[in-house]
């Protein structure tokens, strides 16, 4: 079987996005009522919903085009599938993943695990959130270059309430959904966030909070999973093993199934938002890799080096049908917010 290198599949990804996917989406949106071409007739009612990335192939240096379908009308469209397969030289990994949601807290079990309880010192993986949201995950701790402060790292939608919060707003641990209250569980204040913007594709969903002077924290303990070793220096690749500690599902194991995934559409309260350059992960265990409330978790490689920031997922797709998780490249997150990881 012919091997396809990383450079070649990147070029294929760009070519298919520009020559097949984006022209169709543009025409669909412009011609919702006047359907002109055969291709568009077969895609009536569809407004996007195909994300393209890079998946692993048969060997270590072999890659395939990752095609992630988010709408049923596209999944069943034989004409479009044929176009993509031929353009990708029959080196396409086409998977239906359904709707991708940013993670909000889900119902708590009868007996609360440690990561949904009050933790002092603050711990990686614990429940946290802006006072007006449900709850998300305290991903980790970083040094903020501009302020010189040690900070909590998580998602925009966890600490900044999808752009609606104000700098200085109270951050609670545990989050409000897990019983956190302003008068007794405030641990810091919103310090900065990267806005999540509609109408263009985003790279990260990230925010930071200052830590109140009387609040201690543990920057390295990964409860149930060892110790954080630092920041991974090389990009993740398909097939890499990873794990995370999150507010809802605790410690879970996974595998990277695609990288550099563009045009992922994620459902937020204020609309469907596009993301580029995302990392796709699926579980290697019996349950999902992540669930609602795990948003903000920092993801580590199998050696314990931090590499990604979890922010969204689906409940369908993946080879086992348990859904896939999407994460920002942690190096991009740190660069955009002016951070260095604390270890």
Q: Which domain holds residue 73?
A: 1-96
> Domain boundary at 168, 184, 218, which?
218
Q: Is residue 307 part of a domain?
A: no
Cα–Cα–Cα angle for 189, 196, 211, rounded to 5 degrees: 15
206-243, pLDDT tens digit by residue?
999 999 999 999 999 999 999 999 999 999 999 999 99
Report residue 19 CA to chain centroid gap. Answer: 27
- For the chain, the domain total comes to 2
In the chain, the percentage of residues whose pLDDT exceeds 70 is: 90
Pairing relationship of beta strands 207-210 and 63-69 according to DSSP bridges: unpaired
**Which residue bears the tokens 């709707």?**
99
142-188, pLDDT tens digit by residue?
999 999 999 999 999 999 999 999 999 999 999 999 999 999 999 99
55-100, pLDDT tens digit by residue?
998 877 899 999 998 887 777 778 888 888 888 888 888 889 988 9
What is Dmax (Cα atoms) for the chain?
65
Residues 143 and 55 in one domain: no
> Domain boundary at 172, 193, 218, which?
218
Residues 69 and 138 in one domain: no
What does the block give as tokens for 298?
Answer: 């920092």
Cβ–Cβ < 8 Å for 309, 330: yes
Alpha carbon distance 337, 330 (integer Å): 11
Alpha carbon distance 161, 152 (integer Å): 15
* Phi, psi (degrees; rounded to nearest 5) at 239: 100, -15
> Domain boundary at 168, 183, 218, which?
218
pTM, 2 dp: 0.91
Task: Specify the pLDDT at position 105.
Answer: 59
Most confident of 2-16, 32-46, 237-251: 237-251
Task: Specify the pLDDT at position 1.
Answer: 56
Residues 6+ apart with CB under 8 A from 207: 153, 154, 155, 156, 158, 159, 160, 190, 192, 193, 194, 337
């Amino acid at each position: 079987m012919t091997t396809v290198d990383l450079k070649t599949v990147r070029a294929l990804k760009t070519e298919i996005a520009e020559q097949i996917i984006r022209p169709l989406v543009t025409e669909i949106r412009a011609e919702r009522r006047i359907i002109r071409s055969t291709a568009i007739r077969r895609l009536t009612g569809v407004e996007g919903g195909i994300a393209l990335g890079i998946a692993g192939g048969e060997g270590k240096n072999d890659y395939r085009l990752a095609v992630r379908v988010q709408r049923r009308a596209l999944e069943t469209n034989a004409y479009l599938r044929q176009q993509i397969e031929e353009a990708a030289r029959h080196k396409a990994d086409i998977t239906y993943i359904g709707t991708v949601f940013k993670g909000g807290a889900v119902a708590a079990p009868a007996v609360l695990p440690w990561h949904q309880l009050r933790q002092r010192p603050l711990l990686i993986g614990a429940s946290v959130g802006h006072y007006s949201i449900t709850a998300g995950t305290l991903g980790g701790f970083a040094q903020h270059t501009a302020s010189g402060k040690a900070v909590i790292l998580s998602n925009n939608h966890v600490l900044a309430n999808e752009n609606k919060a104000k700098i200085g707003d109270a951050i609670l641990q545990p989050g409000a959904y897990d019983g956190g209250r302003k008068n007794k569980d405030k641990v810091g204040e919103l310090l900065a966030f990267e806005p999540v913007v509609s109408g263009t594709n985003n790279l990260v969903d990230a925010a930071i909070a200052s830590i109140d002077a009387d609040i201690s924290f543990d920057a390295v303990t990964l409860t149930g999973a060892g110790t954080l070793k630092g920041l991974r220096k090389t990009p993740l690749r398909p097939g890499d093993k990873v794990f995370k500690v999150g507010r809802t599902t605790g410690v879970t194991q996974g595998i990277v199934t695609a990288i550099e995934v563009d045009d992922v559409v994620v459902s937020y309260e204020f609309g469907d938002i596009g993301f580029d350059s995302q990392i796709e992960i699926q579980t290697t265990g019996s349950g999902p890799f992540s669930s609602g409330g795990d948003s903000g978790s920092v993801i580590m490689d199998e050696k314990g080096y931090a590499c990604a920031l979890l922010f969204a997922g689906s409940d369908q797709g993946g080879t086992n049908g348990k859904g896939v998780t999407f994460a920002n490249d942690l190096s991009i997150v740190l660069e955009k917010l002016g951070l260095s990881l604390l270890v």
